[in-house]
Amino acid sequence: MDKPLSPKFLLEDNLIKLARWLRLLGYDATIHRSTNLSSLIALAIKEKRVFLTRSKRIFKLKQKFPRYLIKDTSYKNQLYELKDYIKLDKEHLFSRCMNCNVSLNDIEKKKIKDLVPEAVFEAFENFKICRRCGRIFWQGSHYHKMKLTLQKIFLKQ
Ligand SMILES: [Zn+2]
């Protein structure tokens, strides 16, 4: 992976679905289940993350930190709200584990023979693994469905 995508995000835990889709796009999107707002803001500042929130109260705080008020409740519309700040970049698409928010690594096909269904092993050549959760990824129908969803969002006028 070349340059990491920017910006990085910190999300409230009511935005977990949005976080997972940002990760699919390759963005570093972290969630901390802390209820301590000042420590969350400190983290956003320290790690130079844009704080995504659905709370007008947080959005209006006088303290200075990068933030964005998410208005919609559906992840598709939430992604669309962010479209001026994020992009659909093929090179980064599906480069990050949607559960763990860490970069995926390529793994040799022969090493995962016993870890994926036989039909998947036969049908695909390229696999990636998340070193944190151990999940293996390939570009199957699920991949194409998610890609299509993203394309629809980003091509919407
Ligand atoms: Zn993972």
Query: Mapping DSSP to helix (H, G, I), strand (E, B) and coil, where does residue 106 land?
Result: strand
Cα 98 to ligand 1 centroid, rounded to whole Å: 7
Cα separation, 4 vs 78, in Å, equals 22
Cα 102 to ligand 1 centroid, rounded to whole Å: 7
Cα 134 to ligand 1 centroid, rounded to whole Å: 6
Burial class (CB in 10 A: 0-12, 13-18, 19+), 100: middle
Q: What is the pLDDT of residues 105-156, one digit of tens each?
A: 999 999 999 999 999 999 999 999 999 999 999 999 889 999 999 999 988 7
Average pLDDT over residues 75-98: 94
Cα 104 to ligand 1 centroid, rounded to whole Å: 8
Cα 56 to ligand 1 centroid, rounded to whole Å: 32
Q: Residue 5's pLDDT is what?
A: 87
- State the average pLDDT for the chain: 93
Q: Residue 157's pLDDT is what?
A: 54
Query: What's the pTM?
Result: 0.92
Cα 94 to ligand 1 centroid, rounded to whole Å: 12
Cα 57 to ligand 1 centroid, rounded to whole Å: 33
Q: Residue 2's pLDDT is what?
A: 59
Cα 130 to ligand 1 centroid, rounded to whole Å: 5
Q: Residue 64's pLDDT is what?
A: 92
Cα 153 to ligand 1 centroid, rounded to whole Å: 25
The band of 76, judged by pLDDT with boundaries at 50, 70 and 90, is very high
Q: Residue 35's pLDDT is what?
A: 77
Cα 129 to ligand 1 centroid, rounded to whole Å: 8
